[in-house]
Structure 1
């Protein structure tokens, strides 16, 4: 379970350290930075998955994601004593840093822009100016970084790991455009790299279910055993049937009847192995197909399949799950999320006060309220001494 998330110099987030528990609700007014928090976590996960370059380039390159606000750290700009000002010319180039601490391991990455042509750190200039450079990566044991807890670290092209108290060189030739996870951790000497990489690859993000009339969800699909619902939900029928066969079918049926009293869901199989969803409701002489369901009903069923997965991840993130749902479904959704949090760590990013009330009902929900002061995303009410223990590998430079 993650215990801390740290973000530095990402969009509206200049310096944020967030405490985490089993069930977390991130809320705040529109424009407070909730979406930036979600995107930063997805970017962090991509270092261990498909790679970080493609997501960065999709958003305009690393420079477009950097903190663009004032460098004032004295609070004088906030108090209106002086106008906003930027980074001092000739100072160090800005860097994006992301990291997390957990009960077992921690990981932090520092990225910067590609060095300009003629820079002494490169033998020859690169034309790929939108690609980031990995400056530092560190994995340590325990919830926060201490010099004695570092297990493996990367600085530039050089990777070294701790071996029985001494440092051992792994490679001096790791490309600056590739993460530590791309080449290290495939042998028995670096089990911590493999453990952290696999944990991060298992994080699940659900933020966009297609429920429009042309959505694949509304059409019969070829069904194969589906332990994990796809992030776009196109395999809902197969995922639902998988839960019925090897998952908690009682919890699945109760989640449906909790939201729609007297209703039930079944999966019909057709020639050619096609699966289709059937929604039975009291008073109707025939079941409704997925094509006939409202957007809100279909979205709720998708959340049921995601949250009641027979293979719970270590971390699941739901971005505005209440979208398109009728307000009357919010209490049932809250109960569903609380039940799923018994088996996996869950983040819910939402601005719904009704969902917040439902999640906090008789449960230990860690509610984080984001605020924006002088264009900077902060945690409302968090004082400096109340921040979780956190140290960047480069000492904060």
Structure 2
């Protein structure tokens, strides 16, 4: 399980070190930084997928990503204990009960006479992998400094690459499980983290279209394999949990999947009192979105980490308890992170499960967690 998330110098987040539990719920008023926290987690996950620098560039580059708040309300009243980052870097990291990882982004150093037109592109200047707990130079297993990757071998360091590009993560350069198992295992676990953010339910949404069916233990982020994902749960997952999830939200209702001779899958919604099932095209936005969450959270292949961004969107308040039951079910098999605006959902999760509540507030442009006392903050050291 991931025990700590650390973020520094990202948008409204000057510095946050957050202890995590099995189920984590992030709340706070509009503009408090919930979306920035979600984006920071997504950016960290992209490091394992090889698209992190591209994502930063698409979002406006480092100038847009760097924290730009003030450190003083005025020249005469300094904010005690707060200052701007000591270096011009964006840093993300996490520690877990096995391996831990951190990455730092900055401006790569180019030759003075470089003619490249990509001088403003963000680059990776530092990466580290170490065992569980806080980072120390003595316990580091893999270190990346600019273009050089080194691997610890006993008391010595071995250079395994000295020409990695600044726009590539070490996970893209080294992936041989036999030579560097630490890098391979960390890459695989980060690639399996799952993010769900605002399922589309409009008229042309992928989830409303019939698709060629194939076994789907994981629901795609846009829901285009919804029917196949539901059928996979019925055949190889927990069909009883699926039946209960639908019946709890819509008493007497159930789902079936129809397959054509050409292998096209179509979802049908049977509702009490109706003489025929409803096709997915006939479902309301709220009903379809709830069924999408059923397919996502009852996955037969649970990931290590599942991050849900505002899952209550477009759901009727009466469906919130059913959604909360699904989230609690998922938290039994995965570590779950929920970003929510719903007081009803937050209260339900807090009352019915062991829930780590993280309430964000913003002060002078800086995202903070006021309830986090000094001694509650995990020990965290960034690689220098």
- The offset of 1:117, in angstroms, is 6.4
**TM-score of the aligned structures, taking structure 1 as reference length:** 0.92
1:59 corresponding residue in structure 2: 59
Deviation of residue 58 (structure 1)? Answer: 1.4
- DSSP 3-state at the match of 2:6: strand
- Further displaced range: 10-19 or 156-165: 156-165
- Aligned positions of 1:302-317 closer than 5 A: 302-317=292-307
2:365 corresponds to 1:375: yes
Confirm or deny that 1:274 pairs with 2:274: no
SS in 1 for 2:352: coil
Query: For 2:104, what is the secondary structure of its paired residue?
Result: strand
Q: How does 1:191-340 map to 2 (within 5 A)?
A: 191-340=181-330
Once residues 324 and 75 of structure 2 are traced to their aligned partners in structure 1, the CA distance between those partners, rounded to angstroms, is: 39
CA distance in 2, matches of 1:31, 1:338: 27
**Partner SS for 2:351:** coil
Paired residue for 1:153, among 131, 143, 146?
143
Deviation at 1:186, TM superposition (A): 1.4
The Cα offsets for residues 75-127 of structure 1, whole Å up to 9 and x where unpaired, read as x53897269xxx99xx9761100000111011000110244662xxxx73531
Deviation per residue, 1:151-191 (Å, 9 max, x gap): 10011111111112322121221122211111113141311
> How far apart, in 2, do the equivalents of 1:157 and 1:387 lie?
33
Equivalent in the alignment of 1:100: 94
Distance 1:130 1:42 in 2: 22
Residue number in structure 1 paired with 2:68: 68
The separation in 2 between residues aligned to 1:371 and 1:96, in whole angstroms, is 21
Distance 1:7 1:311, change over 3 A: same
2:347 aligned residue (357, 374, 381): 357
Q: Aligned residue for 1:25?
A: 25
Indicate if the aligned counterparts of 1:9 and 1:67 stay in contact, CA closer than 8 A.
yes
Report the Cα offset of residue 144 of structure 1: 2.1
Q: Distance in 2 between matches of 1:323 and 1:79?
A: 43
Give structure 2 stretches of 5+ with no counterpart. none
Partner residue, 1:81 = 77
Contact 2:198/2:311 (CA < 8 Å) preserved in 1? no
Q: Which of 136-145 and 165-174 deviates more?
A: 165-174
| CA displacement 1:312-349 (0-9 Å, x = unmatched) | 00000000000000000001111110011100000000
2:128–2:143 Cα contact (<8 Å) kept: yes
- 2:106 counterpart of 1:112: yes
Q: Which whole-Å deviations, capped at 9, do the CAs of 1:178-229 have from their partners, x for residues lacking one?
A: 1111111314131111111100000000002110011121121111111110
2:6 alignment partner in structure 1: 6
Q: Counterparts of 1:134-173 in structure 2 under 5 Å?
A: 134-173=124-163
Q: In structure 2, do the counterparts of structure 1 residues 330 and 141 end up closer, same or farther at CA, with 3 Å as the change threshold?
A: same
Q: Contact (CA 8 Å) 1:185, 1:192: kept in 2 or not?
A: no
Q: How many residue pairs end up in the alignment? A: 382
* Bigger Cα displacement from structure 2, 185-194 vs 60-69: 185-194
Larger mean CA deviation between 226-235 and 42-51 belongs to 42-51
The corresponding residue for 2:34 is 34
How has the CA–CA distance of structure 1 residues 294 and 130 changed in structure 2, closer, same or farther, with 3 Å as cutoff? farther
Give the Cα separation in 2 of the matches to 1:125 and 1:392: 33
Answer with 61-70 or 341-350: which moved more.
61-70
Secondary structure of the 1:45 match is helix
